[in-house]
Structure 1
């Protein structure tokens, strides 16, 4: 059973290197990726479509009215749970990333390089009500635990940047 990754985009046209994304995503054939375009006003949607056309494991959800990051994650999760048989789904929002020096390329690279760790994700048992979204996890929080020496991951948790 595969795991999925939801990435929320909002006006990220200038930060997406299409060819780099395609090259990295083609190396992640064991993950299903869902790009949620959260009402971008630039050409983000067109760029995401180009990536989707080149990569069989990419889906796109287009949110027509801007939503909070968690609402956009839930829209992507509903889509992925309905379309795929996934064990767990990780999520990350580009608006929450510190990407000034690394861009979104580093995020895609970290996902590609840590594909095995993501596939081996084990949900910690918590006593809570069963819900559709119980299998969701923060990708960055998880990678922080398993990749202690990755510069991009460390940067996301620094408070002085």
Structure 2
């Protein structure tokens, strides 16, 4: 089984390097990505569609009316749980990231470099809790999880996210 990652985008057209995203994502294994376009007014949705057309493990959800980050994550989670058999489900909202440090390319690179740790998230949670959480209840912040593990990645270490 795989781990799903939901990434929320809103007006990020200028920050998305399509070819870089495609190259990095194609190197991930056992990760299913759901790129959620939260009613962008620019060309973000078209960029995300291009990426999904080139990568087998990428889906796009297009939200036509702007929603809060929590609602956008829930829309992505519903899509992922209906379409894939996943161990766990993580999320990242680009609105809450400090992308001035090498932009979204660094985010995608951090996911690729730490995919094994991300895939092991559900194992760690299950060990600590002795109960099996539903996919929605085990939703986790990918960046917060990587920060907690003290991953040696400059992009992750520079993030100061607010919690949902």
Q: Which residue number in structure 1 is paired with residue 129 of structure 2?
A: 125
Q: Which residue number in structure 2 is paired with residue 156 of structure 1?
A: 159
Q: Which residue number in structure 1 is paired with residue 57 of structure 2?
A: 57
CA contact (8 A) 1:87 1:135 kept: no
Q: 1:29 Cα shift?
A: 2.9
Residues in 2 aligned to 1:88 and 1:37: alpha-carbon distance in whole angstroms:
21
Q: Which residue number in structure 2 is paired with residue 100 of structure 1?
A: 100
CA contact (8 A) 2:36 2:61 kept: yes
Partner deviation per Cα, 1:84-137 (whole Å, 9 max, x = no partner): 00010010000000011310000000000001111111224298xx65511210
SS of 1:89's equivalent in the other structure is strand
Between the two proteins, the alignment pairs up a number of residues equal to 158
SS of 2:112's equivalent in the other structure is helix
Alignment RMSD (CA, Å): 2.0
Residues in 1 aligned to 2:155 and 2:96: alpha-carbon distance in whole angstroms:
13
Q: 1:154 Cα shift?
A: 1.2
Structure 1: segments with no counterpart, 5+ residues: none
Q: TM-score, normalised by structure 1?
A: 0.92
Residues in 2 aligned to 1:38 and 1:143: alpha-carbon distance in whole angstroms:
24
Q: Which residue number in structure 1 is paired with residue 84 of structure 2?
A: 84
Q: TM-score, normalised by structure 2?
A: 0.90
SS of 2:56's equivalent in the other structure is coil
Residues in 1 aligned to 2:135 and 2:24: alpha-carbon distance in whole angstroms:
29
> CA 1:47–1:144 in structure 2 vs 1: closer, same or farther (change >3 Å)?
same
Q: Which residue number in structure 1 is paired with residue 67 of structure 2?
A: 67
Q: 1:148 Cα shift?
A: 3.6
